[in-house]
Amino acid sequence: QSADFSGRRTAPDLVAWVFDAGRTQALADLAREAHTPPPPPPPSGTGGEGADYYVGTGVVPLTATTYMTEVQASADVWLVEFYAPWCAHCRALKPAYIEAAARLKAHGVRVGALDCMAHQPVCAEAGVTSYPAIKRYGSDKELTPEDYTGPRTAASLVDFGVDGTGREHGFYRGSDVVGLSPAAFRHQVLEGAEPWLVKFYAPWCGHCADLKPDYAAAATALKGVAHLGAVDCSVSAALCRELGIPGYPTLKLYAGPNRGDPTEFGGERSLAGLTRFVQEHVLGLYAASDVEVLDAAAWEARVAGGSDPWMVKFYAPW
């Protein structure tokens, strides 16, 4: 409370104004409010766990420092809950959030939580106005994080998290092509021992869409020879910039010990061209240019339906 002085600026008038009965009572009330003690902390068992709120679960407890070093400075996809330990809605969400963290681990999505009572400046900077607030940070941290507005269930949280990896955009859903997040790309492709052909693409790219059926068919045909993966550069923009991807689609074969120097595909964008490329580099099969690798369509059109004589070897790469 406050009161404005509007009288003459003289000592008698100032004294009279201060000791006016109504204003004296207002000043007394203001002083009493200023000395009112803060409310006690929440009693035990009501969610006042503070820093221990998510300890021992798959959810990463974040601080102001780790929020910057692990979330903002990494290329990983993150789901972050901004919460207050005393918040009833936060406590109700907690079991589903822990379950979602466990399920998202397999998709390369990291899950964290930040206590806004302990780190109010960070939450204010993130634009948090109520609890719980959940935001998804994609691999490109220059983009604004996306707010979660769906049901507070583990299944919906998992869908929201995986959507940030590019796997659930529907581009290769239902095929043998493996959608790769930045974390999965590093773990499975760069650090793995098995050969990978990786397509770097954007969903809006017409040439990427044209290649889609043959690439999916090649993923099935090459089972046991190499894995075929796909990185959505519209989602994993930072990773694609780091790898120097010049345009879409770009295909690179990661095989052998030197994963830092992959072989770029420059052949015919067809099932036969893709399988031939992988087999030549992974198995060393049919490197001679006069041996053709046939798919079902080529067999029907050129062998079964053609007039030229053919010698055909039916084989399995393994």
Residue spans of the domains in the chain: they are: 1-36, 50-163, 178-304
Residues 6+ apart with CB under 8 A from 276: 267, 286, 293
| pLDDT band at residue 59 using 50, 70 and 90 as cut-offs | very high
Q: Residue 4 is encoded by which pair of tokens?
A: 């404005």
What is the biggest distance separating any 2 CA atoms in the chain, rounded to whole angstroms? 121
CB of 212 closer than 8 Å to CB of 172: yes
pLDDT tens per residue across span 266-318: 999 999 999 999 998 888 755 444 667 777 778 888 888 888 888 888 875 54
Q: What is the pLDDT of residues 169-213, one digit of tens each?
A: 457 776 788 888 777 888 889 988 899 999 999 888 899 999 999
> Is residue 112 predicted with pLDDT exceeding 90?
yes
Rg of the chain, C-alpha, whole Å: 31
CATH class of 178-304: alpha beta
Topology match between the domains 50-163 and 178-304: yes
In whole angstroms, give the CA distance from residue 65 to residue 44. 28
Going from the C-alpha of 246 to that of each of 209, 213, 264, 297, the distances in angstroms are 18, 23, 12, 32
Q: Give the pLDDT of residue 170.
A: 56
Which CATH fold would you assign to the domain 50-163? Glutaredoxin (3.40.30)
**Residue 238: in which H helix or E strand, if any?**
helix 237-242
Catalytic residues: 87, 90, 205, 208
pTM of the model: 0.45
Q: Report how far residue 49's alpha carbon sits from residue 54's, in angstroms, rounded to the nearest whole number.
A: 9
Q: What is the pLDDT of residue 96?
A: 95
Query: Phi and psi (nearest 5°) for 147?
Result: -80, 140
Give strand pairing partners of 137.
Answer: 78
